[in-house]
Structure 1
């Protein structure tokens, strides 16, 4: 059976955006207007400003509507905190597409307090309110697999966080995401900046979302449907999964790697590859697979997973 990744067959075009950003409304160093201006100037099509949703900052869901311009839109959102996780620290839940009146929980600060919602509870409440929800920076947070399993409402895992790469060399969420996929979860994978502009934590990871128009409503629908890929620079142009191989069309890259459950993986390497076939003999038993491309500068792009056990 042939499977086409839906991001490459859906109508519309790709729009570049960052889903995780902070401003002076929480612990960022630039005001919201300047954050939006910089992303717009860097060629982004959309931005979600996601300041920390805790009482010490006034539970902000920042109104970025005034900063929209022709060709550049914004999506309201926040980074939600409640908890604790197994390590005793608060959850970090990324919620993009929240209503402006999303009700605060009991999170006056970043401490643990009696009567707080759990992380899974606030994630589910955000999804019910219409948001696209992701488990933020698992490696940075010290997230355990048991923690991750408990968040059943999330659409995605943040698998690359540029701020965590710059600030502590803990950018990764692939280990957690791959284990959840192997357990049967259907999840998408996002790359973000988590920009605070206090260090080189910006313009390093983004999503390319396929939609018919650059509006918050269309972008959110495509995010929830998994119609996107993530990148640090390379472009994915098509991914076709055949029974015995994957065909990847991309901008010029040096490596194309297909990953699956456990140790299942296969890479093909070369120079300036734009149409690459990767055999799947080592992934024959994997219920899912995903694709990474790497260019000559070491920058990566990542597909969303394909579930082969669900047709």
Structure 2
């Protein structure tokens, strides 16, 4: 039987947002108020990830003063450098950056030929200890070739709430599934990308399994893949045998299993808290992942299970 480490690792689940902006870049609220609001909404941790460009002074904001017994801020930034295939600047999420991470030669939101490339700055962030994700692939207009080039990434944003609210381009599933089908070892994160100038907050998060709500434990769990992502529903366990996948969850109306290419199977019902789905369609698939959806249309996503 195969299981996901998120449901077998020691500890408990901690709810957090990994993509947030403040007045240190183009957000509306100052860092202290951003942290206060997430804490008030019941989040256990938050990464403040302002835009790491010269216009804003390359911010990696010290949020340690806003830490409490029940709330953990984590240092981070949204990194930019080099051009994607469409000529626009890369957006790469880096959570757990050291405060002395060296700034690239990026003065504003324009790519130039002399800049460090996106793959290079992503690799440098990973080497510095960060958890790195490809941000909002659909919004960015990311090509598969672009995505393939970021070899150092731990994850892809499968859902970005700010892009859902601001431009109806929230999705990263297509890019993620193509990379997974090629054998890439990636996890899937849901985020807010909150700026607080529209309803772009408290809409997507990660549930991280760790023994303590501190930056080191949370980052280690993220890198191991000990988490799932959600807009509200809870995934409580996933078990895979030779011929069936079993899912335990909060009450939902749909449980869908996805794999390589067109391999997918969905089970629909009312107030389902468990599902058993045959794996006959997945004989040629190298991975499985699970999406659940509740009656309000909110989803949760597992990380991929390698077969």
Q: Are 1:186 and 2:163 counterparts?
A: no
Deviations 1:97-136 (A, max 9, x none): 0000000011011112242000000000000000000000
Q: How does 1:107-118 map to 2 (within 5 A)?
A: 107-118=106-117
If the length of structure 2 is used for normalisation, what is the TM-score? 0.99
Contact 2:131 2:219 in 1 (8 A): yes
In structure 2, the gaps of 5 or more residues are none
Deviations 1:32-73 (A, max 9, x none): 000000000000000000000000000000110001111100
Partners of 1:282 and 1:195 in 2: how far apart? 38
Q: How does 1:15-34 map to 2 (within 5 A)?
A: 15-34=14-33
In structure 1, the gaps of 5 or more residues are none
Partners of 2:58 and 2:218 in 1: how far apart? 24
| Equivalent in the alignment of 1:85 | 84
The alignment partner of 2:6 has SS state of helix
Partners of 1:98 and 1:124 in 2: how far apart? 12
The alignment partner of 2:37 has SS state of helix
The alignment partner of 1:208 has SS state of strand
Measured after TM superposition, the shift of residue 247 of structure 1 is 0.4
The alignment partner of 1:121 has SS state of helix
Deviations 1:163-199 (A, max 9, x none): 0000000000000000000000010000000000000
Partners of 1:158 and 1:82 in 2: how far apart? 19
Contact 2:189 2:205 in 1 (8 A): yes
Contact 2:207 2:227 in 1 (8 A): yes
| Equivalent in the alignment of 2:290 | 291
| Equivalent in the alignment of 2:7 | 8
Deviations 1:197-256 (A, max 9, x none): 000000000000000000000000000000000000000000001111110000011110
Measured after TM superposition, the shift of residue 285 of structure 1 is 1.1
The alignment partner of 1:269 has SS state of strand
The alignment partner of 1:59 has SS state of coil
Partners of 1:217 and 1:160 in 2: how far apart? 25
Partners of 1:138 and 1:102 in 2: how far apart? 24
Partners of 1:283 and 1:34 in 2: how far apart? 47
If the length of structure 1 is used for normalisation, what is the TM-score? 0.98
Q: How does 1:269-284 map to 2 (within 5 A)?
A: 269-284=268-283
Q: Are 1:232 and 2:223 counterparts?
A: no
Partners of 2:193 and 2:242 in 1: how far apart? 38
Partners of 2:229 and 2:243 in 1: how far apart? 25
Partners of 1:58 and 1:19 in 2: how far apart? 21
Q: How does 1:11-160 map to 2 (within 5 A)?
A: 11-160=10-159
Q: How does 1:171-210 map to 2 (within 5 A)?
A: 171-210=170-209
